[in-house]
Amino acid sequence: MSEASATIIGAGIVGMSTAAFLQRSGYKVTVIDRLPPGEGCSFGNAGGIAFAEIAPTIHPKVLLKIPGWLMDPLGPLTIRWSYLPKALPWFLAAGRNAMPDRVRAITAARADLALRCVADVETLLKEKGAADLIRYQDTLRVYDTEQQFQAEAAERETKKSFGFEMKTISGDEARELEPALGPGVHRAAFHGGWYFVTNPERVVKTIAADVARNGGRIIADDVVAIDRDGGKATALQLKAGGRHVLDQLVICAGAYSHLLGRQLGERFLLEAERGYHMVLPNSGVTLSRSITYARTPGAATPMEMGLRLAGTDEFAGLDAEPNYARADALWKIFKMVLPGLREPDAATTRWMGRRPGTPDSLPVIGPSKTTSNVWYGFGHGHMGLTWGPTTGRLIAEIMTGSRSNIDLSPFRADRF
């Protein structure tokens, strides 16, 4: 009997984790991406293994904030108005998923994904001598007013009900813990489960190197088309490499996944939630952990290459030019709580990446409904690094017929 083989489209954290877990399950794996491993969206995230972040990205309180955010072109969420007609179905679906019953169901599904995500990333890194990448200090959330703190009371209670305790401390206690915090910090809270890595790109490259060492192929190429015969995918047409014959196919192509799914007759509501970061090698501040600030979505994370300020959500499609003023806006925000933060200098770098976001804040994990040998793992939004390894494990379990530890129905491909 010939060895089972699987081709994975996408060399980010989800695709490489899927390749690694399939390899452990006996598959011969090939990964195809136009970019090297870890150099797409996985490159520039805030580095969080944010397993306590079980609330959906859009919920009723966020809905109330969106109109004000949209009026500020450098606010935490913006849409380029020429793109609004195309994004409107996604936003309407997001509104429907912000209703209380949907928020409860989505929160429970996100909590299920969190169950083993730390163990899954440890599985992929600890045996490779890269455990030093993970920092187990819980991220600290800071507030500069009591009103900010009280506005999140319901979210803290929800987290607590799922076992994630947001222990609160005073502003003085927060400054004792992190002296870089300024006098304006009124209060702080631990997230109850948000570790971080010191280099997200190196995380993915470490996994990729292990996959290659164990006989996996990593091909740098563009997938132009998927050939089908009846209800089965038979080959990929590659831009440079010609025809690549398929056994099993897993689509982990991030914000581009819906374009591939369309070729298979499937419709996904997926948007590129464009995030930005700024890395300051000469930041002037020292942090022992990641910091989030209640004033705006985003995080300040100490990394190997400097202090990374990451966040914001921009809806402008896949191909629009970056607006790096959004990265600069993050510096202005975090300067409010990190007063020693130095001005960006010649060593500062800026980046934009396309997060694959679904309107229900849940990824797509599981089999295609139109094509018997195709599987999906995409749509992780802001949670790719957190859920990527777990997604890889779950896909490997599904493909090998193993029983999963969670209910996978909330992540099914035909739910849109």
Residue range 138-195, pLDDT digits in tens: 999 999 999 999 999 999 999 999 999 999 999 999 999 999 999 999 999 999 999 9
Which of helix, strand or coil describes residue 244? strand
Tokens linked to 312: 């914001």
pLDDT band at 213 (very low <50, low <70, confident <90, very high): very high
Structure tokens at 306: 């400097």
| Three-state secondary structure call for residue 351 | strand
Q: How confident is the model at residue 74 (pLDDT cuts 50, 70, 90)?
A: low
pLDDT tens across 302-338, in order? Answer: 999 999 999 988 999 999 999 999 999 999 999 999 9
pLDDT of residue 1: 42
Q: In this structure, are residues 121 and 131 in contact, taking their beta carbons and an 8 Å threshold?
A: no
CA–CA separation, 47 vs 166, rounded Å? 20
Q: Specify whether the CB–CB gap between 135 and 197 falls below 8 A.
A: yes
- Residue listed under structure tokens 């209703």: 99
pLDDT given for residue 54 in this prediction: 96
Helix, strand, coil shares of the chain, percent, nearest 5, are 35, 25, 40
pLDDT confidence tier of residue 72, bands split at 50, 70 and 90: low
Going by pLDDT thresholds of 50, 70 and 90, the confidence category of residue 119 is: very high
Q: What is the pLDDT of residue 84?
A: 86
pLDDT digits (tens, 9 = 90+) for 269-304: 999 999 999 999 999 999 999 999 998 889 999 999
Confidence at residue 276, expressed as pLDDT on a 0 to 100 scale: 95
Distance CA 314, CA 131 (A): 33
Strands 28-33 and 5-9: parallel
pLDDT at 162: 96
Q: Give the mean model confidence (pLDDT) for residues 210-223.
A: 97
Q: What is the pTM of this model?
A: 0.95
Helix (H, G, I), strand (E, B) or coil at 343: coil
Burial of 114 (0-12, 13-18, 19+ CB in 10 A): buried
Q: Is the pLDDT of residue 82 over 90?
A: no
- CA distances to 152, 223, 381 from 350, rounded to whole Å, are 30, 28, 20
For the chain, give the percent of residues with pLDDT over 90: 87
* Backbone phi, psi, residue 322, to 5°: -65, 150
Mean pLDDT of the chain: 94
Q: For position 69, what pLDDT does the model report?
A: 61
Find tokens 């209380």 and name the residue. 100
Determine the average pLDDT of the residues in 72-81: 74
Placement of tokens 């089908």 in the chain: 228
Looking at residues 381-409, what average pLDDT do you find? 96
As a whole number of angstroms, the distance between CA 330 and CA 20 comes to 35
Name all domains of the chain by residue range, CATH numbers in brackets: 5-411 (3.50.50.60)
pLDDT at 228: 96
